[in-house]
Chain A
């Protein structure tokens, strides 16, 4: 028990003795990790949006103008029994016109001059969750396109693909920036540990002379590094959360992106915990690097 208390007390003492360095290390780590966090937050929200859009993608199956009722019914039946299809809704020509007028009241006069209703009848198809990948959608659309009575199959896959590509780039940038700034965190924490080792070199010498093992000497410094990383990471999450809420509030106030702010989300609790653990890992890495470089523990 005394051994455990000794180790924890030593780690705490290290941080207290070099208070300024400890605070600087935590703050620098926090701001460094916050920079990585911004990319991560952007990435998480874009992925969330892409997933949400993907969920919401509807495939429009437009029918030929002259398609007979029995053929339309047969087609509807065929679509409904398809295992890739979750939902089929029929929109008649009249309904389509009505919806157009409701959605675009200012432009409804455009259709007046045409006399006959130019809008085609259609099926609005939602694919089952397992078949919403771009490849599945494309395959399904190609297959339906060849069916009798089908004029055109249409869906907004293109800009979802653009979004996916964008997410891919952000992911790359986040990884690059993350690696670079993580290395910076490791160096900062490593230097703090080196300073602690220097300050307490006499004590380390005494511990060695009385038979302390390398592990016993090193553990307080590992704990210190991990604690610095965890505190820095927790602080970075605090900074990000404040920044995120201010950004969301600003969007609400300007009103230009109405509705979007409610779709934005902060990291879930599990990811917050994972980030704190990652911070601990970086701190621990800093300690290891520092202890190896200083060569502490050689007999």
Chain B
């Protein structure tokens, strides 16, 4: 299989405190990977590096065949268009409707009005909130807001989906629903990386899990789940 993400001896320090130390990791196309570790372990730093928001002090990062560490600032937005991002705090625009929030990645790419309508409707249907498309995000429950955030992340068919503590603000029942949604997205061929500190998720999902502690990759568990596509 082809590696869609490669980190080769990546290190990063903040004020001489190491956030990542000599991390080497390879993720194959279509994989579902859990990035585990306590708060401050370096999970978010690693995800930010994958979208070109941070640069490593040492090492190389390849995403979808592009060396992220060598990208010009003007090329970074085009990399981000291939990567969907889901945040713990949803980061939805409260003054826009659910539909407009999900349409935003397509709007910035200059997609035609007709395609926007079609793709946004499909994405909202896939996450199960199409009936709330005209409502402002604030009127939705936390679980629904996270679904809208996921719809926005997948609307332009990304090759990779990154989720940073996506269930941090959700109760166990909603957490299970969101994880199922990620599995569904993964089953359609998108590589999914979920960063979490919640050990319950690792118990629920028997997929590949890598653990970071103080910026060092300490453990790796291979996938034991039978993947249905």
Question: What residues of chain A have their CB less than 8 Å away from a CB belonging to chain B?
Answer: 1-3, 6, 13, 202-203, 205-214, 216, 298-299
Q: Is B141 at the interface (CB under 8 A from chain A)?
A: no
How many residues in B have their beta carbons less than 8 Å from beta carbons of A? 25
A211 and B78: CB pair below 8 A?
yes
Cβ–Cβ < 8 Å partners of A6 in chain B: 107
A2 touches B85 (CB 8 A): no
Among A1, A203, A209, A214, residue most surrounded by chain B Cβ atoms (within 10 Å): A209
CA A212 to CA B76, docked complex, whole Å: 9
- Cβ of B113 and Cβ of A211 under 8 Å apart? no
* Complex contact B110–A3 (CB within 8 A): yes
**In chain B, what residue has the closest Cβ to A213?**
B77
B101-116 contacts to A (CB < 8 Å): 103-105, 107-110, 113, 116
- 0 or 1 for each of B10-52: is its CB under 8 Å from A? (1 = yes): 0000000000000000000000000000000000000000011
Contact B93 A211 (CB under 8 A): no
- Chain B residues with CB under 8 A of A205: 91
Name B's A-contacting residues (CB within 8 A): 51-53, 73-74, 76-81, 85, 91, 93, 95, 103-105, 107-110, 113, 116, 152
Q: Return chain B residues, CB-CB under 8 Å to A202.
A: 91
Asked if A210 and B103 make an inter-chain contact with CB atoms under 8 angstroms apart, the answer reads: no
Which residue in B80, B109, B116 is a CB contact (below 8 Å) of A209?
B80
The 5 tightest CB contacts between A and B, nearest first, are: A211-B81, A211-B80, A212-B108, A299-B76, A210-B105
In the bound complex, what is the Cα–Cα distance between A172 and B182 (angstroms)? Answer: 69
Nearest CB in chain B to that of A297: its residue: B73
A-B contacts, 21 listed (Cβ < 8 Å): A2-B107, A2-B113, A13-B95, A205-B91, A206-B93, A206-B104, A207-B108, A208-B80, A209-B91, A210-B80, A210-B152, A211-B78, A211-B80, A211-B81, A212-B77, A213-B74, A214-B77, A216-B108, A299-B52, A299-B53, A299-B77
**Bound complex: CA of A213 vs CA of B81, how far in Å?**
10
A213 x B95 contact (CB < 8 A): no
What's the nearest-Cβ distance from chain B to residue A93, in Å? 85
B155 nearest in chain A by CB position: A210
Given contacts A2-B103, A3-B108, 19 further A-B contacts (CB under 8 A): A2-B113, A6-B107, A13-B95, A207-B108, A208-B80, A209-B51, A209-B53, A209-B80, A210-B80, A210-B108, A211-B108, A211-B109, A213-B74, A213-B77, A214-B73, A214-B74, A216-B108, A298-B73, A299-B52
Residue of A nearest to B95 (CB): A13
The minimal Cβ–Cβ distance linking B48 to chain A, given in whole angstroms, is 10
In the bound complex, residues from chain A placing their C-beta under 8 Å from that of B85 are 209-210
Please measure, in the bound complex, the distance between the C-alpha atom of A132 and the C-alpha atom of B104, giving whole angstroms: 65
Q: B109 — which chain A residues lie within 8 A by C-beta?
A: 211
Chain B residues with CB under 8 A of A206: 91, 93, 104
Chain A interface secondary structure, helix, strand, loop or mixed?
helix
Query: In the complex, what residues of B have CB within 8 A of residue A211's CB?
Result: 77-81, 105, 108-109
Cα(A212)–Cα(B109), bound, Å? 7
B53 touches A3 (CB 8 A): no
A1 to B85, CA, bound (A): 26
- Shortest Cβ distance from B119 into chain A, in angstroms? 12
Across-interface contacts of A299 in B (CB, < 8 A) = 52-53, 73, 76-77
- Give the docked Cα–Cα distance between A206 and B80 (Å): 11
Q: Which residue of A lies closest to B83 (CB)?
A: A211
Question: Which residues from A are CB-within-8-Å of B76?
Answer: 299
CA A211 to CA B74, docked complex, whole Å? 10
**Would you give the shortest CB distance from A190 to chain B, in whole angstroms?**
23
Contact B105 A203 (CB under 8 A): no
Closest Cβ of chain A to B38, distance in Å, is: 24
Closest Cβ–Cβ distance, residue A14 to chain B (whole Å): 12
CA distance A6 to B101 in the complex (A): 12
List of B residues within 8 angstroms of A209 by Cβ: 51, 53, 80, 85, 91
Which residue of chain B lies nearest to A1 when distances are taken between CB atoms in the complex? B113
- Do B104 and A207 touch (CB < 8 A)? yes
Residues from chain A with a CB closer than 8 A to the CB of B103 are: 2
Q: In the complex the two chains form, what is the Cα distance from A207 to B95 in whole Å?
A: 15
Closest to A200 in B: B93
In the complex, what distance in Å separates the CA atom of A54 from the CA atom of B53? 67
